[in-house]
């Protein structure tokens, strides 16, 4: 599987168990942990507490991997909170952005006409701005009798795995490293060196945009709240961001190897 960082690999393994607790509430493990540690909430919002086991503490340390990337796929809408849960695909962190919460409505099923299987457009336009309202009414309602499903947005399969969880952790580490790296080096000297290279001007501009993360890949477009699917279309393995485009994509890695370019990714 190509794992390089043991601590991140262990965290991905633990996160897989957290995913199991999230998506299989009726299994024995979920029932035991819920009754003991979060009887009135869920694992993502539960507090560690004073009297906890090593296993529970480890799960709590791994659950921050799900701070983003989770998304509710709407079925009947009964289990999804309108205001707090991530359920808007392609919109920032998936949560509704409002200045005032209308307490008359709490779950998504209250926004659905169950008889016709359509959205209550008038109500939706009342609780949020026009842009988000149109986003909501474009969400397909497949069947009102089916339960809501929690999916993982960083993989085309919608299923969390140790492999794509590890990839997500590595990407976050690279992003943190990049943000400190650019501030640690002398920006002026770095960019001056780029402009002095004997290469076409368009290549210089592209290098500069890459260093500044100004490349309009899907993840950047989603960050700007444009409605796009951020899965990389070439391999369909993960979200399209700068690190996946340059290093992690299995298809592009074959190209680098063919060109005898060996990149260190971890």
Quick: pLDDT tens for 125-161: 998 888 889 889 999 887 677 889 999 988 878 899 9
Separation of alpha carbons 250 and 28, rounded Å: 37
Can you give the pLDDT at residue 50? Answer: 76
Tell me what the pLDDT averaged over the chain comes to. 81
Average pLDDT over residues 224-242: 73
At residue 245's C-alpha, the angle toward residues 243 and 247, to 5°, is 60
Separation of alpha carbons 242 and 264, rounded Å: 15
Q: Closest by alpha carbon to 95, among 58, 136, 61, 123?
A: 136
Q: What are phi and psi of 93, to 5 degrees?
A: -90, 10
Instruction: Select the more confidently predicted residue: 212 or 22.
Output: 22
Can you give the pLDDT at residue 162? Answer: 93
Can you give the pLDDT at residue 184? Answer: 45
**pLDDT-derived band at 22, boundaries 50, 70, 90:** very high
Q: Buried b vs exposed e over 143-165: b needs ≥16 C-beta within 10 Å?
A: ebeeebebbbbbbbeeebbbbbb
Q: What are phi and psi of 262, to 5 degrees?
A: -105, 110
- pLDDT surpassing 80 at residue 239: no
Can you give the pLDDT at residue 26? Answer: 92
121 token code pair? 């457009």
58 Cβ contact partners less than 8 Å away, ≥ 6 residues apart: 14
CB 230 within 8 A of CB 168: no
């Amino acid at each position: 599987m190509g794992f390089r960082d043991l601590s991140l690999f262990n965290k991905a393994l633990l996160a897989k168990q957290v995913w199991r607790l999230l998506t299989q509430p009726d299994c024995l493990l979920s029932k035991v942990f819920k009754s003991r540690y979060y009887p009135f909430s869920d694992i993502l919002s539960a507090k560690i507490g004073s009297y906890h086991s090593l296993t529970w503490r480890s799960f709590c340390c791994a659950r921050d991997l799900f701070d983003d990337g989770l998304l509710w796929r709407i079925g009947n809408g009964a289990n999804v909170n309108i205001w707090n849960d991530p359920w808007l695909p392609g919109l920032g962190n998936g949560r509704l952005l409002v200045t005032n919460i209308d307490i008359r409505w709490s779950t998504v099923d209250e926004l659905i006409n169950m008889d016709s299987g359509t959205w209550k457009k008038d109500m939706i336009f009342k609780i949020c701005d026009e842009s988000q309202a149109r986003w909501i009414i474009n969400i397909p309602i497949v069947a009102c009798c089916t339960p809501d499903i929690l999916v993982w947005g960083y993989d085309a399969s919608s299923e969390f795995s140790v492999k794509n969880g590890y990839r997500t952790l590595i990407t976050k580490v690279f992003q943190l490293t990049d943000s400190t790296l650019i501030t640690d080096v002398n920006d002026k000297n770095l960019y001056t060196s780029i402009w002095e290279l004997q290469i076409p001007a368009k290549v210089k501009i592209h290098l500069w945009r890459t260093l500044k993360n100004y490349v309009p890949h899907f993840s950047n477009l989603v960050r700007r709240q444009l409605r796009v699917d951020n899965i990389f279309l070439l391999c369909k393995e993960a979200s399209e961001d700068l690190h996946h485009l340059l290093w992690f994509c299995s298809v592009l890695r074959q190209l680098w190897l063919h060109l005898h370019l060996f990149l260190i990714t971890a």
